[in-house]
Structure 1
Amino acid sequence: MSRCPAWHESFRGEAVVEVQGFVMVWAAVLLVTRALAEGRRAALARADEWHLRYERTLRAVGVASVEYDATTGRATWGAGADQVLGRVASAAVNIQEWLDLIDPAERGLVEAAWQAVAQGVRASSEQAYTLRLPGGQVQRVRERLAAVPGGDGRVEQVVALLSLAAGEKPHG
Structure 2
Amino acid sequence: MALPFIVTFAVTFLAWAAAAIVSQSMGDAMTLSASVWLATGVTFGALLVAKPARRAAVLAGAALAAILLSLLDGLALLPALAFGANEALAAGLGAWVARLLRAPRPDGRIEPGKAYAGLLLGALLTAALGASIAIVLWSWALPQPIPMLTEWRVWACTTFVGILLIAPLITSFAGFKVKRSGGMASSQFLAGAATFVLFFVVAALIFSSDVSDRFGASLGPTLAYLPLPFMVVTAILWKERGATLATLLGALALIAWTNSGGGPFAEVEGFPGEAVIEVQGYVAVMALLVGVVNALGATAAQALALAQDWRTRYRQVLESNRTVVANFDARTGAAEWGEGASELLRTDAAGLLTVQDFITHADPQEQPALQADWRDLTQGQREHVLWKNTLRWSDGRVAAVNARLSGVRGADGQVEQVAVLLEVEA
When the two structures are superposed, what TM-score results if normalisation uses the length of structure 2? 0.34
1:124, distance to aligned residue in structure 2 (A)? 2.1
Check conservation: 1:126, 1:143, Cα contact below 8 A: yes
Structure ID, larger Rg: 2
Q: 1:101 aligns with which of 338, 361, 369?
A: 361
Tell me the secondary structure at the aligned position of residue 79 of structure 1. Answer: coil
Partner of 1:49: 309
Partner of 2:271, secondary structure, is coil
Matched, 1:73 2:333: yes
TM-score (norm 1): 0.76
Q: Distance in 2 between matches of 1:114 and 1:51?
A: 29
Rounded Cα–Cα distance in structure 2 between residues aligned with 1:34 and 1:146:
42
* RMSD, aligned α-carbons: 2.6
Instruction: Identify which range, 7-16 or 142-151, moves more after superposition.
Output: 7-16
Secondary structure class of the residue paired with 1:10: coil
In 1, Cα distance between equivalents of 2:413 and 2:276: 58
3-state secondary structure, aligned to 2:366: helix
Q: Tell me the alpha carbon deviations over residues 16-75 of structure 1, each in whole angstroms, 9 at most, x when there is no partner.
A: 322320221121122112111111111111111111111111111121111223344332
18-27 vs 37-46, which deviates more?
A: 18-27
Contact 1:139 1:164 (8 Å CA) reproduced: yes
Deviations, residues 83-142 of structure 1 (Å, cap 9, x unaligned) = 322125664122222122122221222233234334444332212123232145544321
Query: 1:11–1:155: structure 2 CA closer, same or farther, 3 Å change rule?
Result: farther
Alignment size in residue pairs: 161
Change (3 A) 1:117 1:29: farther
Unaligned stretches of 5+ in structure 1?
Answer: 1-5
Q: Provide structure 2 residue ranges, at least 5 long, that are not aligned to the other structure.
A: 1-216, 218-266
Q: Secondary structure at the match of 1:143?
A: strand
Q: Which residue of 2 aligns with 1:3?
A: none
Give runs of aligned pairs for residues 1-172 of structure 1, distance below 5 A: 8-88=268-348, 91-150=351-410, 153-165=413-425, 169=426
Whether the aligned pair in 2 keeps the contact of 1:59 and 1:81 (CA below 8 Å) is no
From the two aligned structures, give the one with the greater strand fraction: 1
SS of match in other structure, 1:129: strand
Deviations 1:137-167 (A, max 9, x none): 54432110123344555444322111235xx
Contact 1:149 1:157 in 2 (8 A): yes
Higher helix share: 2
- Whose relative contact order is higher, 1 or 2, with alpha carbons under 8 Å and at least 6 apart? 1
CA distance in 1, matches of 2:313, 2:351: 23
Question: Distance in 2 between the 1:68 and 1:93 partners?
Answer: 10
Does the 8 Å CA contact 1:64/1:84 hold for their aligned counterparts?
A: yes
- Looking at structure 2, the residues matched to 33 and 77 of structure 1 have their Cα atoms a distance apart, in angstroms, of 36
